[in-house]
Amino acid sequence: MRHNKRSFYFNNHFMYDTIIVGAGFAGAVLAERLASQKQQRVLVIDKRRHTGGNCHDSYDGHGVLVHRYGPHLFHTSNRAVFQYLSQFTDWHHYEHSVLAYIDGQKVPVPFNLNTLSALFPASLAQSLENKLIGRYGYGTKVPILTLRAEDDPELKFLADFIYDKMFVNYTAKQWGCKPEDIAPEVTARVPVHISRDNRYFQDAYQALPKHGYSKLFDALLDHPAISVLLNTDYKQVLTIDFEREAMTAFGAPFNGNLIYTGPIDELFGYRLGSLPYRSLQFQFEHFNEAFFQEATTVNYPNNHDFTRITEFKRASGQKVDGTTILKEFPQDYDPQDSTRNIPYYPVFTDNNTALYRQYRALAESFGRLILVGRLAEYRYYDMDDIVERALQVFADEFA
């Protein structure tokens, strides 16, 4: 891979077939497929100084491998996705566990029968367990809204307790809203697990890249037909005339495809208005002790301004002296503020969805533009979802 701007030139004898904006999973997977399967010459541009997008990891000053943009824990039940990525990395098997600090103790989340036993007197916990299993069956997952609609007073009490203690304040911090303003669609996704399985995910494949995400992205992009241009705003390289459906790259006409994975409103100069996001502020701390907490992640729904603390060694299995933790502070997104200008989560409302559709309509009028990813499509993707999406786009658009 080449990362030096001076390495890039355009003339009548040399031109890329596809330009990709963004070196996260969407961009890297599509670059790899186009280069290896279609022998295309691909240029990947990213404004950050590294590849991998928000999955980027690196060693801190104490030698601990940390995820710079919050924890990224790979899990999937999609065998094809796992097998595809396995071409580019070995894996460290890891099943994620999360605790929540509730009423002075740390208990498993999502809420399950072990959580029930930890928080309630034995007789009440047993009564609630019997009712849950009798009503829904062992091993099921019940949405909190379903449980809150129960007529049984004990089950309704349990549902209200879970909602108040484990969910509503955490979500209010995460999204910067009042508890009463939380949409029912968000609430509906909160499950109660009627089992004693403390794993946060139940997917068939759960692991971390053995040598880190950065090494995985290096491998994905390590192809002679792929050029990578970092620390560069794509607008320094590429001009797009949407009215004429024309593009130039490095000042020369560009007649190939553009795959765009960045914010769709930015692509169009915010001409219809800005799409809102939530951002995050990260605080890393190091301790000269083997471990800081009992699990990889501990949620703090009702205490402190941060939502959770992640301890990376517990996930990576790394053997190193000391340990590094990460506290996450949700915050408003502001593209003009360098401390708030990374968009992490689209804010789903009817108005925002309608605005996105207007931008999408503008994009669809440009035949050589392909939108892929969380920011370009204004939707939430897990890592496996975006790999699957990129592979599907390749099959649909280029096969």
> Which of 116, 319, 303, 93 is closest to 208 using CA atoms?
93
pLDDT mean over 60-69:
98
CB 174 within 8 A of CB 328: no
The CA distance from 376 to 359, in Å, is 10
Whether 35 and 19 have beta carbons less than 8 Å apart is answered as no
Q: Residues with Cβ < 8 Å from 290, sequence gap 6 or more?
A: 323
Q: What is the DSSP letter of 196?
A: S
Segment 197-252, tens digit of pLDDT? 999 999 999 999 999 999 999 999 999 999 999 999 999 999 999 999 999 999 99
Confidence of residue 259 (pLDDT cuts 50, 70, 90): very high
Cα angle 311, 175, 26; round to 5 = 70
The share of the chain scoring above pLDDT 90, in percent, equals: 88
The H or E element containing residue 322 is none
Crossing angle of helices 383-398 and 25-38, in 10° steps, is 40
What value does the mean pLDDT take over residues 293-318? 96
What per-residue confidence (pLDDT) applies to 185?
Answer: 65
pLDDT mean across residues, the chain? 93
- The fraction of the chain above a pLDDT of 70, given in percent, is 95
**pLDDT for 399:** 83
What tens digit of pLDDT does each residue of 146-179 get?
Answer: 998 999 999 999 999 999 999 999 999 999 988 7
CB 69 within 8 A of CB 342: yes
* Residue 93 to residues 57, 185, 290, 315, 368, Cα–Cα distance (Å): 18, 33, 21, 9, 40
Q: Given a cut of 50, is residue 181 above it in pLDDT?
A: yes
Residues 215, 209: contact at Cβ < 8 Å? Answer: yes
User: Residue 9: which pLDDT band, with cuts at 50, 70 and 90?
Assistant: very low
pLDDT tens-digit readout, 333-351: 999 999 999 999 998 888 9
Q: Reply yes or no on whether the pLDDT at 11 is more than 50.
A: no
CA pair distance 147, 150, nearest whole angstrom:
5
Q: Which stretch of DSSP H or E encloses residue 213?
A: helix 213-220
Question: Rounded distance, CA 62 to CA 225, Å?
Answer: 36
**CA angle (230 as vertex; 226, 231 as ends), nearest 5:** 165
Residue in 368, 375, 376, 383 with CA at minimum distance from that of residue 19: 368
| Least confident stretch, 58-67, 184-193, 228-237, 358-367 | 184-193
Calpha distance 146→163 (Å, rounded): 12
Residues contacting residue 104 through CB under 8 Å, at least 6 positions apart: none
Residue 3 has pLDDT above 60, yes or no: no
**Rounded to an integer, what distance in angstroms lies between the CA atom of residue 265 and that of residue 273?**
7
Q: Does the pLDDT at position 12 exceed 80?
A: no
Identify the band that residue 188 occupies on the pLDDT scale cut at 50, 70 and 90.
low
Q: What is the pLDDT of residue 282?
A: 98
Give the pLDDT mean for 127-136: 97
The architecture CATH gives domain 5-95+208-272+346-398 = 3-Layer(aba) Sandwich (3.40)
pLDDT recorded at residue 5 = 37
pLDDT (average), residues 106-122: 97
- Residue whose pair of structure tokens reads 């053995």 in the numeric block: 210
Give DSSP secondary structure letters for 251-292: TEEE-SEEEE-S-HHHHTTTTT-PPPEEEEEEEEEEESSS-S
Mean pLDDT, residues 262-274 taken together: 96
Pairing of strands 226-229, 42-45: parallel
Domain borders along the chain are 5-95+208-272+346-398, 103-193, 276-332
The answer, yes or no, to whether residue 71 has pLDDT greater than 70, is yes
Please state the rounded mean pLDDT for residues 185-205: 88
Q: What is the pLDDT of residue 348?
A: 86
Q: Which pTM value belongs to this model?
A: 0.93
> What was the pLDDT predicted at 303?
87
